[in-house]
């Protein structure tokens, strides 16, 4: 566990580890020596040899000073390692989370990730700052005393040294049941965190559907599971702790008994016997301290494992050299993909979007349209085949280069609780204020800003809660306009906007897609009809492809799609050839 914890220390603090270990070792050995020196000191005093007693006292004082200095340095270095680890691991976890495929996140709750990143890391800092010294001295001091006592009475020294692995074995056995109980506690705590998070963020939905009571009950049962898991942890640790405490006491009693018997037999002088009994108690003390922190140590050990597990999750690797696309075309080449193993969502999908043209993807709900956009943005890696930009597999481009090529404008717009300006600037952090304002003007975000109480300085609330759905879309279009990437991946909004918002969003999108390579998951007939190419997908496969005129003139899924949209809107779309391309 100690080795795995040290692996988390950042490179610029690794050189402190040997100093810390040496300081801790000296601290432990000096303490052991100071205790053993008590025996010759007592013997000299009992013999009335004040000269020898003075010498032993001086040696003992020297050793105590060494122990104090080493203790100071081990505390200082432990703290430096802990703080360094906190900084290093936080950065490593942050970078690592940013490089994980999105699929990794969908298998976990935000709460369980937060627990590892915050609570587990704190646990490990505590380990470096306090626990490590107790652990090392808990081993070094008894061994040191045992070896020292060998020179005074080898039988007693052997009892001490043999008892140590016995106590360690009992401690190890005690830890077994604790570990699984701690994992259950961690999982139940994350479940409670997730429940509280959901309960608070989903209040509007819960109230709208009268489900507050039901979710409250779900939260209560999560809390009950957490209480049971806490009880389980206590139940799992108490027998182990009790067994360990009993074994430690048995060892102490055995040592005192042996000293008493051998002293009675005349093997030791009274002074040596008193000294050995005092030393026996000092032999037990660090072991008892070790037992007292064993619960914290095991918790830290579990935390170290969880942080390592998180860091071991395979990242979306950037290629050693990022390939350069020859143009802004986009193609799907026999692409297959599933979110879960064995469930195919895209199956051998092939089509090409020539540079500067618009392709609309249509198909029934759940047929895999949005998934194709996510694969093009490499939010998930394809299982088979390749998505290519300008002839280059997106997997052979660095994430940075790929993101410079594509602008995803998806339905679920995520806004950070910052100002509108900061939210737009995410599109291009080094953009000038003028560029930001220009993008905002084209997407009609300046209209929103004028209405806000603090204008550009207004915070948009958590996830942009202070803005309407249409307003959030406008901000996301402004972001993409500012980014000005040559390929736009657009998931057209399904929800109806009011006429004004609809008009400004359509205008913003037209500006955004002007002259760009566009792949749009289209829900509106007007968007589809104006596309250069329409790709019809069903159940993850491409079932038809062509222009609106070609597809509408023949029977098939597309004709069904058009008829369905006509019926939904209560109007018919006149089929006419698309001579010139226009944005969606």
Ligand X SMILES: Nc1ncnc2c1ncn2[C@@H]1O[C@H](COP(=O)(O)OP(=O)(O)OP(=O)(O)O)[C@@H](O)[C@H]1O
Minimum distance, C-beta of residue 524 to ligand X, in the bound complex (Å): 13
Alpha helices (H) in 48-101, listed in sequence order:
50-99
Minimum distance, C-beta of residue 528 to ligand X, in the bound complex (Å): 13
Of 259 and 521, nearer to ligand X (C-beta) is 521
Question: Which residues contact ligand X (rule: CB under 6 A)?
Answer: 106, 339, 345, 363, 365-371, 521
Minimum distance, C-beta of residue 340 to ligand X, in the bound complex (Å): 6
Find the farthest-apart pair of alpha carbons in the chain and give their distance in angstroms, rounded. 119
Minimum distance, C-beta of residue 218 to ligand X, in the bound complex (Å): 22
Of 74 and 527, nearer to ligand X (C-beta) is 527
Report the distance separating Cα 460 and Cα 452, nearest Å. Answer: 10
Minimum distance, C-beta of residue 542 to ligand X, in the bound complex (Å): 13
Quick check: 109 and 192 in contact, CB under 8 A?
no
Minimum distance, C-beta of residue 366 to ligand X, in the bound complex (Å): 4
Quick check: 361 and 521 in contact, CB under 8 A?
yes
Quick check: 294 and 171 in contact, CB under 8 A?
yes
Of 163 and 367, nearer to ligand X (C-beta) is 367
Minimum distance, C-beta of residue 103 to ligand X, in the bound complex (Å): 7
- The tokens for 416 are 């950070």
Of 206 and 373, nearer to ligand X (C-beta) is 373
DSSP secondary structure letters along 364-387 = STTSSHHHHHHHHTTSS--SEEEE
Minimum distance, C-beta of residue 446 to ligand X, in the bound complex (Å): 31
- The tokens for 330 are 């986009």
Report the distance separating Cα 305 and Cα 498, nearest Å. Answer: 52
- The tokens for 199 are 């309960």
A 10 A CB-CB count for 533 gives 22
**Backbone phi, psi, residue 342, to 5°:** 90, -10
**Backbone phi, psi, residue 309, to 5°:** -60, -45
534: β partners: 360, 546
Minimum distance, C-beta of residue 169 to ligand X, in the bound complex (Å): 47
Of 71 and 368, nearer to ligand X (C-beta) is 368
Minimum distance, C-beta of residue 115 to ligand X, in the bound complex (Å): 22
Of 369 and 425, nearer to ligand X (C-beta) is 369
Q: CB-based contacts of 552: which residues, under 8 Å, 6+ apart?
A: 558, 559, 562, 575
Minimum distance, C-beta of residue 539 to ligand X, in the bound complex (Å): 9
Of 106 and 468, nearer to ligand X (C-beta) is 106
Closest CA to 139 of 350, 340, 291: 291
Minimum distance, C-beta of residue 292 to ligand X, in the bound complex (Å): 46
Of 50 and 340, nearer to ligand X (C-beta) is 340
Of 206 and 534, nearer to ligand X (C-beta) is 534
Give the three-state DSSP class for 8.
coil
SS (H, E, C) 263-319: HHCCCCCHHHHHHHHHHHHHHHHHHHHHHHCHHHHHHHHHHHHHHHHHHHCCCCCCC
Parallel/antiparallel/unpaired status of strands 330-337 and 487-491: unpaired
The label of the residue with tokens 């072991």 reads 287
Report the distance separating Cα 410 and Cα 370, nearest Å. Answer: 9
Quick check: 164 and 146 in contact, CB under 8 A?
yes
Minimum distance, C-beta of residue 209 to ligand X, in the bound complex (Å): 21
Of 121 and 373, nearer to ligand X (C-beta) is 373
Report the distance separating Cα 418 and Cα 271, nearest Å. Answer: 74
DSSP secondary structure letters along 134-174 = HHHHHHHHHHHHHHHHHTT-HHHHHHHHHHHHHHHHHHHHH
Of 439 and 497, nearer to ligand X (C-beta) is 497
Of 436 and 525, nearer to ligand X (C-beta) is 525
Quick check: 420 and 466 in contact, CB under 8 A?
no
Minimum distance, C-beta of residue 308 to ligand X, in the bound complex (Å): 26
Report the distance separating Cα 299 and Cα 212, nearest Å. Answer: 35
**Backbone phi, psi, residue 454, to 5°:** -110, 25
């Amino acid at each position: 566990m100690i080795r795995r914890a040290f692996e988390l220390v950042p490179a610029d603090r690794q050189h402190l580890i040997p100093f810390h270990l040496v300081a801790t070792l000296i601290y432990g050995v000096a303490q052991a020596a100071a205790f053993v020196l008590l025996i010759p000191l007592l013997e000299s005093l009992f013999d009335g040899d004040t000269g020898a007693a003075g010498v032993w006292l001086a040696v003992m004082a020297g050793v105590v000073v060494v122990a104090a200095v080493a203790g100071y340095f081990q505390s200082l270095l432990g703290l430096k390692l802990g703080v360094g680890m906190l900084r290093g691991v936080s950065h490593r976890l942050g970078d690592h989370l940013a490089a994980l495929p999105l699929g990794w996140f969908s298998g976990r709750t935000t709460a369980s990730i937060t627990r590892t990143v915050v609570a587990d890391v704190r646990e490990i800092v505590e380990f470096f700052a306090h626990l490590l010294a107790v652990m090392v001295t808990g081993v070094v001091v008894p061994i040191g005393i045992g070896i020292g006592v060998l020179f005074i009475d080898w039988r007693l020294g052997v009892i001490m040294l043999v008892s140590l692995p016995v106590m360690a074995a009992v401690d190890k056995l005690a830890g077994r049941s604790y570990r699984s109980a701690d994992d259950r506690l961690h999982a139940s705590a994350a479940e409670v965190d997730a429940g509280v998070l959901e309960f608070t963020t989903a209040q509007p939905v819960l109230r709208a559907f009268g489900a507050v009571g039901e979710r409250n009950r779900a939260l209560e049962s999560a809390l009950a599971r957490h209480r049971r898991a806490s009880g389980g942890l206590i139940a799992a640790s108490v027998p182990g702790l009790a067994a360990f405490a009993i074994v430690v006491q048995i060892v102490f009693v055995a040592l005192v008994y042996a000293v008493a018997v051998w002293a009675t037999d005349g093997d030791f002088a009274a002074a040596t016997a008193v000294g050995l009994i005092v030393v026996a108690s000092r032999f037990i003390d660090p072991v008892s301290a070790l037992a007292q922190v064993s619960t914290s140590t095991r918790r830290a050990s579990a935390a170290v494992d969880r942080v390592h597990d998180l860091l071991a999750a395979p990242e979306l690797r950037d290629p050693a050299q990022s390939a350069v696309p020859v143009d802004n075309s986009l193609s799907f080449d026999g692409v297959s993909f599933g979110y879960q193993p064995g469930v195919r969502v895209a199956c051998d999908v092939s089509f090409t979007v020539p540079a500067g043209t618009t392709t609309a993807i249509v198909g029934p709900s759940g047929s895999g349209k949005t998934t194709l956009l996510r694969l093009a943005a490499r939010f998930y890696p394809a299982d088979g085949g390749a998505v290519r930009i300008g002839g280059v597999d997106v997997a052979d481009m660095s994430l940075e280069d790929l993101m410079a090529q594509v602008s995803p404008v998806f339905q679920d717009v995520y806004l950070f609780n910052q100002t509108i300006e900061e939210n737009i600037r995410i599109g291009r952090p080094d953009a000038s204020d003028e560029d930001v304002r220009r993008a905002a003007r084209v997407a009609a975000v300046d209209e929103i800003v004028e209405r806000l109480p603090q204008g550009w300085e207004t915070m948009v609330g958590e996830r942009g809660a202070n803005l309407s759905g249409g307003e959030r879309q406008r901000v996301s279009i402004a972001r993409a306009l500012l980014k000005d990437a040559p390929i736009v991946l657009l998931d057209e909004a399904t929800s109806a906007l009011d006429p004004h918002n609809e008009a400004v969003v359509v205008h913003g999108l037209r500006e955004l897609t002007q002259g760009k390579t566009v792949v749009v998951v289209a829900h509106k007939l007007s968007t589809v009809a104006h596309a250069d190419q329409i790709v019809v997908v069903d159940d993850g496969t491409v079932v038809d492809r062509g222009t609106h005129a070609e597809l509408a003139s023949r029977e098939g899924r597309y004709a069904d799609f058009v008829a369905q949209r006509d019926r939904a809107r209560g109007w018919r779309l006149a089929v006419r050839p698309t001579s010139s391309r226009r944005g969606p």
